[in-house]
Amino acid sequence: MRISGKPGSVSSSQSVSGSKGSATPSAAAVAPAPASDAVQVSSSAQLMAVAQEVLAVTPDIRAEKVEALKNQLDADAYHPDGEAVAEGLIREHLAKGHRS
Protein backbone atom coordinates (compact mmCIF):
# COMPACT_ATOMS: atom_id res chain seq x y z
CA MET A 1 0.00 0.00 0.00
CA ARG A 2 1.30 3.40 -0.86
CA ILE A 3 0.18 6.61 0.82
CA SER A 4 0.67 9.76 -1.15
CA GLY A 5 1.25 13.19 0.32
CA LYS A 6 -2.31 14.30 -0.48
CA PRO A 7 -4.81 14.12 2.41
CA GLY A 8 -7.48 11.46 1.93
CA SER A 9 -5.60 9.90 -0.97
CA VAL A 10 -4.72 6.24 -0.53
CA SER A 11 -3.86 4.00 -3.41
CA SER A 12 -3.16 0.32 -3.39
CA SER A 13 -0.20 -1.15 -5.09
CA GLN A 14 0.68 -4.81 -4.53
CA SER A 15 3.44 -6.76 -6.05
CA VAL A 16 4.46 -10.35 -5.47
CA SER A 17 8.12 -11.06 -5.63
CA GLY A 18 10.17 -14.09 -4.80
CA SER A 19 10.97 -17.42 -6.39
CA LYS A 20 7.42 -18.78 -6.21
CA GLY A 21 5.23 -16.48 -8.20
CA SER A 22 1.99 -17.44 -6.40
CA ALA A 23 0.24 -15.48 -3.72
CA THR A 24 -0.96 -17.07 -0.50
CA PRO A 25 -4.71 -17.32 0.08
CA SER A 26 -6.21 -14.41 1.98
CA ALA A 27 -7.48 -14.75 5.52
CA ALA A 28 -11.03 -14.12 4.32
CA ALA A 29 -10.94 -17.32 2.26
CA VAL A 30 -10.27 -19.45 5.35
CA ALA A 31 -13.42 -20.22 7.35
CA PRO A 32 -13.04 -19.56 11.08
CA ALA A 33 -13.49 -22.50 13.43
CA PRO A 34 -16.69 -22.40 15.45
CA ALA A 35 -16.07 -21.01 18.94
CA SER A 36 -16.95 -23.18 21.90
CA ASP A 37 -16.05 -23.20 25.57
CA ALA A 38 -15.45 -26.40 27.49
CA VAL A 39 -14.42 -27.16 31.04
CA GLN A 40 -12.89 -30.43 32.13
CA VAL A 41 -12.66 -31.21 35.83
CA SER A 42 -10.24 -33.86 37.03
CA SER A 43 -11.38 -36.65 39.31
CA SER A 44 -9.20 -35.17 42.08
CA ALA A 45 -11.01 -31.85 41.77
CA GLN A 46 -14.37 -33.63 41.87
CA LEU A 47 -13.30 -35.50 45.02
CA MET A 48 -12.19 -32.23 46.62
CA ALA A 49 -15.57 -30.66 45.82
CA VAL A 50 -17.40 -33.56 47.49
CA ALA A 51 -15.11 -33.35 50.53
CA GLN A 52 -15.77 -29.60 50.83
CA GLU A 53 -19.53 -30.20 50.68
CA VAL A 54 -19.30 -32.81 53.46
CA LEU A 55 -17.17 -30.50 55.60
CA ALA A 56 -19.62 -27.66 55.10
CA VAL A 57 -22.40 -29.67 56.77
CA THR A 58 -20.22 -31.30 59.44
CA PRO A 59 -20.27 -29.45 62.77
CA ASP A 60 -16.96 -28.28 64.21
CA ILE A 61 -17.82 -29.82 67.58
CA ARG A 62 -18.94 -33.44 67.75
CA ALA A 63 -21.43 -33.16 70.58
CA GLU A 64 -21.77 -36.96 71.05
CA LYS A 65 -18.03 -37.38 71.53
CA VAL A 66 -17.81 -34.43 73.94
CA GLU A 67 -20.71 -35.81 75.98
CA ALA A 68 -19.10 -39.26 76.13
CA LEU A 69 -15.82 -37.75 77.37
CA LYS A 70 -17.67 -35.65 79.98
CA ASN A 71 -19.39 -38.78 81.25
CA GLN A 72 -16.03 -40.61 81.49
CA LEU A 73 -14.49 -37.67 83.38
CA ASP A 74 -17.46 -37.50 85.79
CA ALA A 75 -17.18 -41.26 86.45
CA ASP A 76 -13.38 -40.99 86.86
CA ALA A 77 -13.08 -43.48 83.98
CA TYR A 78 -11.06 -41.32 81.60
CA HIS A 79 -7.39 -42.27 81.68
CA PRO A 80 -5.66 -41.18 78.46
CA ASP A 81 -2.22 -42.55 77.60
CA GLY A 82 0.09 -39.59 78.19
CA GLU A 83 2.76 -40.84 75.80
CA ALA A 84 0.23 -41.34 73.01
CA VAL A 85 -1.13 -37.82 73.56
CA ALA A 86 2.40 -36.35 73.50
CA GLU A 87 3.28 -38.26 70.31
CA GLY A 88 0.09 -37.02 68.67
CA LEU A 89 0.84 -33.42 69.62
CA ILE A 90 4.39 -33.73 68.25
CA ARG A 91 3.15 -35.30 65.01
CA GLU A 92 0.57 -32.55 64.59
CA HIS A 93 3.16 -29.85 65.26
CA LEU A 94 5.62 -31.34 62.76
CA ALA A 95 2.91 -31.69 60.12
CA LYS A 96 1.99 -28.01 60.51
CA GLY A 97 5.65 -27.03 60.28
CA HIS A 98 6.03 -28.74 56.90
CA ARG A 99 3.03 -26.85 55.47
CA SER A 100 4.52 -23.39 56.07
Are 23 and 16 a contacting pair, CB within 8 Å? yes
Examine residue 7 and state whether it is found in any structural domain, yes or no: no
Asked whether residue 15 is domain-assigned, the answer is no
pLDDT at res. 53: 94
Residue 75 pairs in a beta bridge with none
Let me know the angle formed at the C-alpha of 81 by 79 and 85, rounded to the nearest 5 degrees.
120
Specify the pTM: 0.34
Quote the number of domains for the chain. 1
Each residue's pLDDT tens digit, 68-88: 999 999 999 999 999 999 999
**Within-domain flag for 83:** yes
Q: Is 98 among the domain residues?
A: yes
Whole domain around residue 66: which residue ranges? 61-100
Q: Is the residue at 71 inside a domain? A: yes
Is 16 part of any domain? no
User: Which pLDDT band, with edges at 50, 70 and 90, does 8 fall under?
Assistant: low
